[in-house]
Amino acid sequence: MKIGLDEARALDARDPLARFRAEFELPPATPLYFAGHSLGLMPKRTRAYVEEELDAWSREAVEGHFAGERPWMPYHELVAAPLARIAGAREGEVVAMNSLSVNLHLLLVSFYRPTPARHKILIEEGAFPSDRYAVASQARFHGFPDAVVEVPRGADPRELVDDTIAVVLIGSPNFLTGEAFDLRAIARSAQLAAVAAGAVAGSWPASSAARSHRAASSNRPAR
């Protein structure tokens, strides 16, 4: 669906999130910014927060790992609650660690247990490149170089879920097109397909505040 500039501006004006626009630094030559999945705009508060940690470093030196208002060693515990709210998960189900690509590999190492009959990985066309590279490399590592199946743009991923799918990894919204997916329904379809095949189904979220991922696996239950 194509819309005109005036209609786009009207939609922006009605967007309840529009009030947050003033809280971000927008490059002067970039009135419209669409790279939020890669590196979003810098919040204006960031500079102050970084200065606070630099001040803590200057005061505490190595003791800053354990002392001060926000010690660095248990940072993952300090951010668990807000991350859980973003992900719609329980506080004990999220953790801040590594980079997204590293986390995807760690999750796939646990969840992707392919067999000759059930080894395909379902991912949407136009997925974030590093996500696509991660699943492709895992497929090759396990000896199934042609295991990756892409959902065509505009198609419903559930139509491609069958008993040959081992893992479903869908990014929502899509990195390239902004298309949103019904992640709950997709996960449910994958679980039903796994049960029908006599396997165990689970779903897990990847750690990313910038991208909302859900994967449904037919090989191992999630906690």
Mark whether 131 and 202 lie in a shared domain. Answer: yes
Mark whether 133 and 175 lie in a shared domain. Answer: yes
Mark whether 204 and 128 lie in a shared domain. Answer: yes
In-domain check, residue 12: yes
Question: For residue 9, what are the domain limits?
Answer: 1-73
CATH of the domain at 213: 3.40.640.10
Q: DSSP label at 162?
A: S
Mark whether 104 and 208 lie in a shared domain. Answer: yes
Mark whether 25 and 64 lie in a shared domain. Answer: yes
In-domain check, residue 109: yes
Last residue in a domain, options 73, 91, 126: 73
Query: Contact 109/217 with Cβ under 8 angstroms?
Result: no
Tens digits of residue pLDDT in 53-98: 999 999 999 999 999 889 999 999 999 999 999 888 899 988 888 8
Tens digits of residue pLDDT in 106-161: 989 988 999 999 999 999 998 988 999 999 999 999 999 999 999 999 899 999 99
Task: Please tell me the pTM assigned to this model.
Answer: 0.68
Mark whether 147 and 184 lie in a shared domain. Answer: yes
Mark whether 65 and 124 lie in a shared domain. Answer: no
- Helices (H), ranges, the chain: 5-14, 46-60, 75-78, 80-87, 100-111, 129-141, 183-196
Mark whether 142 and 200 lie in a shared domain. Answer: yes
Classified as helix, coil or strand, 109 is: helix
pLDDT category, 197, cuts 50, 70, 90?
low
